[in-house]
Amino acid sequence: MEQGVLAQETDRLQPLSAFAKAFVDSDGLLDAAVTDWYEGYCPQTQQLLRLPRTRAAEAVARGLMQQLARDDCFAREGKMYGVLLVVTHSGSLAVLKAFSGLLRGQRELPGWVPPIPGRERVALAEAQTLAALEAMKQELIELQQLPERQQYAVLAQDFAVRLQTLQRKHQQQRQDRQQQRQVISETLTGPARDMALEALNEQSRQEGIERRRLKQERDAVLLPLQQVIDQAEERIQQVRQRRKALSRSLQQQLHAAYCLSNFAGESLALQAFRQGELPTGTGDCCAPKLLHYAATQGLTPLAMAEFWWGPPSPQGDKVAGKFYAACAERCQPLLGFLLSGLPPVVLPTNAPDELPILYEDTWLIAVDKPAGLLSIPGRRLNQQDSVVSRLRLRHPELAAVHRLDQDTSGILLLAKDPATHRQLSQQMQQRQIHKLYEAILAGAGIPEQGLIDLPLSADPTARPRQRVDWQSGKPCQTQFRRLDRGNPFARIELIPLTGRTHQLRLHTAAGLGIPILGDRLYGCQTSAPRLHLHARVLHIQHPQTGKLLELRTIPPF
């Protein structure tokens, strides 16, 4: 029995060679360059614990993507996947892989990290609850598809047409009577006139009676149907409330049954991690499954990477082949505990010196921002490393005058004090700062030069994507010039005349019909190590000296 279990556990550890070889250098060493962090605070010490996402982990993840791409089943089911580089008991390197939730309707599949244990203890209650939830779902469908709803809609429309037709008829008759009254008043007198006018009044009364009878007929037909529909709506609300309560009860049972382990040898029920309700699916994501399994098997993690594969997420915020941080609601609250027992990772104290300084004086500083580094800190805990956060160690009042996308490299201008920042921001708003970018497109068929004029707005269904919006989009213009034809990729120069989010990326993809090489967000299907967009030139009038300041840098591609 023990040999069988050990064999199964060994099958979950896969060699690096099963995924890729590009993550090692000529000496066979892992490429440990950090691209992001998985972070959390230790519950006991409140110390920040970190596990990196490295280029090696990303290369392994891309190897897994290639495996997934060979099977159409994976392309039809959008979800998060993750890989964890670990050191085994023997000191060798290996890979663990995991998927979030269900894969092909299963929670556990050969070769993949198993789900966090504990669910089996409430399997019967879960099955009964899921059956009850399914019955409620079917009842809701039946209530929403009552034949009385269709009958009511058809009959209500029929009565509305009949009433409208009758009203138009009566309106015309009223106009005719008005003319007749005028003629009677001019031609008749005495009792003859009174009798003629009374006849017209009687016609008016009969029309009113006719309209009331039609409305009464309508109410007699529609009211019983409306009562049935109202009862169904009341029942729908009751079923929804019961379903919500039953689902919440099941989640509480699951969270009480799930038990996480960390590298310090500690175990804790899932429900202990946060006061109040935990979101549905907590504990079923890749990161908790990978870290829990590594901890229970005595494996030492080196780096982790999570990515999306398959159709875009329902919210449109995740696309295939792109790496993502741990989700804020389900995973982030667990990471501090799960990472406990690992040695803390500390950023180098000379991190600010890693940024190439292009220009610096008393008021300004300009850097050549590398691709992959944020311009300013993000909202999440693992998005705090940025140009601004690094340089603020030496310049506490530092602020970015503009921003570059995380994946864009090139010149980033920053002000050392608020007054300089206001002056430069005013120049930026008045379009007095000249910027020039260089890019490589994922194709070559473009004109020599031209102007792209497409209004843009944020896509609310797929943030942070932008979209071409002719109705409510903001005006947006970009000049372009082809630098060389390239084969198969063209190199171009881009001058933004406006400054909108993702302007250059969407203008090339939608305006020229060819995305920038490496821009998966806007449709590039060609494999590339990075987004090939670089801020090459920046012209400003120095806010203090008044002199023209020209900054230049060479694209790294």
Each residue's pLDDT tens digit, 362-381: 999 999 999 999 998 765 44
Q: Rounded mean pLDDT of 145-156?
A: 94
Identify which of 447, 448, 409, 417 has the alpha carbon closest to the alpha carbon of residue 530: 409
- Residue 471 CB neighbours (<10 A): 6
pLDDT band at 346 (very low <50, low <70, confident <90, very high): very low
Residue 514 has pLDDT above 90, yes or no: yes
In sequence order, what are the beta bridge partners of 509?
none
Q: Rounded mean pLDDT of 145-170?
A: 95
Residues 6+ away with beta carbon under 8 Å from 199:
none
Identify which of 424, 428, 432, 433 has the alpha carbon closest to the alpha carbon of residue 399: 424
Q: How does the average pLDDT of the chain come out, rounded?
A: 86
pLDDT band at 351 (very low <50, low <70, confident <90, very high): very low
Residue 353 has pLDDT above 60, yes or no: no
Phi, psi (rounded to 5 degrees) for 31: -80, 100
pLDDT score recorded for residue 123? 67
Q: Could you write out the three-class secondary structure of 21-42?
A: CCCECCCCCECCCEEEEEEEEC
Lowest-pLDDT range of 218-222, 256-260, 421-425 = 256-260
pLDDT band at 486 (very low <50, low <70, confident <90, very high): low
pLDDT score recorded for residue 519? 93
pLDDT score recorded for residue 288? 92
Lowest-pLDDT range of 10-24, 88-102, 175-189, 446-460 = 10-24
Beta strands in 68-208 (DSSP E): 79-87, 93-99
- Residue 65 CB neighbours (<10 A): 19
Report in angstroms the alpha-carbon separations of 23 from 26, 294, 518.
Answer: 10, 21, 18
Q: Rounded mean pLDDT of 187-216?
A: 93
Residue 153 has pLDDT above 70, yes or no: yes
pLDDT score recorded for residue 179? 94
Residue whose pair of structure tokens reads 């004086």 in the numeric block: 361
Q: Rounded mean pLDDT of 212-216?
A: 96
Burial 346-363 (b: 16+ CB within 10 A, else e): eeeeeebeebeebeeeeb
In sequence order, what are the beta bridge partners of 474?
456
Q: What is the pLDDT of residues 7-62, one digit of tens each?
A: 344 578 887 777 765 454 433 445 566 788 888 887 777 777 889 888 889 989 99
Q: Rounded mean pLDDT of 412-438?
A: 92
Q: How many helices (H) and strands (E) does the chain have?
A: 11, 19
Q: Rounded mean pLDDT of 104-109?
A: 85
186/167 Cα distance (integer angstroms):
29
219/213 Cα distance (integer angstroms):
10
pLDDT score recorded for residue 62? 92
Q: Rounded mean pLDDT of 511-534?
A: 92
Residue 432 has pLDDT above 50, yes or no: yes
pLDDT score recorded for residue 25? 40
- Cβ–Cβ under 8 Å, residues 293 and 113: yes
Residue 251 has pLDDT above 50, yes or no: yes
In sequence order, what are the beta bridge partners of 414?
365, 400
pLDDT score recorded for residue 384? 64
pLDDT score recorded for residue 54? 84
Q: Rounded mean pLDDT of 387-398?
A: 82
Q: Rounded mean pLDDT of 327-354?
A: 68
pLDDT score recorded for residue 155? 95
Active site residue 405: yes
- Cβ–Cβ under 8 Å, residues 368 and 356: yes
* 28 Rama sector, left if φ>0, alpha if ψ -120 to 50, beta otherwise: left
Q: What share of the chain is helix, strand, coil (3-state, %, to 5)?
A: 40, 20, 40
pLDDT score recorded for residue 201? 94
Q: Angle, nearest 10°, between helix axes 190-257 and 147-187?
A: 160
Q: Rounded mean pLDDT of 325-345?
A: 80
Identify which of 346, 331, 336 has the alpha carbon closest to the alpha carbon of residue 80: 331
Residue 273 has pLDDT above 90, yes or no: no
Most confident of 266-270, 409-413, 541-545: 409-413
pLDDT band at 130 (very low <50, low <70, confident <90, very high): confident
Residue whose pair of structure tokens reads 């007699």 in the numeric block: 220
**Selected catalytic residue, list 36, 284, 368, 405:** 405
Residue 154 has pLDDT above 80, yes or no: yes
What global pTM score does this model have?
0.47
